[in-house]
Amino acid sequence: MERLERHASFGGWQDVYKHESDVLKCSMNFSIYIPSHEQDEKLPVIYWLSGLTCNEQNFITKAGAQKYAAEHKVIIVAPDTSPRGEDVPNDAAYDLGQGAGFYLNAIQEPWSKNYRMYDYIVDELRTLIDQNFPTNKVQSIMGHSAGGHGALTIGLKNPNIYKSISAFSPIVAPSQVPWGQKAFTAYLGTDQTLWQQYDTVALIKANAVQLPILIDQGSEDAFLQEQLKPELLLNACKDQNYPITLNMREGYDHSYYFIASFIEQHIQFHSAFIK
């Protein structure tokens, strides 16, 4: 690994690293905030997954999470949202290709060689963090928008790894909305039965294990009606008797102003399950 940035923050360190990913076949950046701790102390980790067009920088510069991570003594890791590089396939649109990995394992050409973000998050990055930083190998996961989709699906598919899940403005039913349908067709093909393994609503309907879930959604989110549709998740949870907390936040939009307003509650939520 190569450290690209280091900033003192609330008694801890906000770092950015670059490493070569075997899974994604390219160089990847990730950010990590490590709060002040005793020399031999091991800390739990919260993984943050960002949304379309974002990279490892958006969360650490806009969310204001470092203060609350320091108070709760948790590490926060925020990776990039997709593989990147001149040799990595891309698309001219913002919602496909680089910056839009959708946290799945692609099986269609030309994406299948590099676009394996699911394996990267669940296995490669987690192993890298545990081997090189003072973690106790206890973790939760959260995210925003397409990253909220990633956090929900990854958490639900791996209840033995993650203790809790939270999301801001997540895409909860990608199989039923334009963002997800476009990405799933490109990455997975037209067989919609394959889409269900990366669809939160479908996973809720099929899941026996119930992880704690917290969701915040702004009422003035421009993507609320067409792309996010939180009512589909609420209905699925009701049908399955799956306990979930979904807060509709009056007046808030899709931006990091929204995330910064409620990130303290999300870190506090996860801390209750990973401490």
CA distances from 121 to 80, 124, 125 (A): 10, 6, 5
Which two three-digit tokens encode residue 163? 């203790």
| Terminal-to-terminal C-alpha distance of the chain | 28
Active site residues: 145, 221, 254
Distance CA 103, CA 198 (A): 8
Are the C-beta atoms of 143 and 150 separated by less than 8 Å? yes
Distance CA 32, CA 13 (A): 8
Q: Which residues, in sequence order, are bridge partners of residue 162?
A: 139
CA distances from 107 to 25, 67, 113, 135, 185 (A): 15, 40, 8, 33, 10
